[in-house]
Structure 1
């Protein structure tokens, strides 16, 4: 029987969403370190982009377990 939102695999969505958030954060942090090591100071837009990736990664990693692990299964 399918649920209200179809056949969603909540544990898989929770794990992959959290892993995606951690990957975004790691890419932003590593980009700052590697960019500053190989290229002198990074241009402003690259620094802003990497900082935005870090912030977005934290938000995705935080809210993915809450949304897919707690809220959506409770509303079925």
Structure 2
């Protein structure tokens, strides 16, 4: 069972977010590479969840077939 993804972690820079293990940044066990995967809050900002939902809504709207 996959772990619940933390939406607003206190110190996202301390972990790698590339898989469900959430390894410490200085001891990655999953073989995800040499660099850790950043949490979306580090890349997009504190409102990353709202941004993601708005992008998903736009994509859903853009892919709906035209009526007519």
Taking structure 2 as the reference length, the TM-score comes to: 0.31
- Which structure carries more helix by proportion? 1
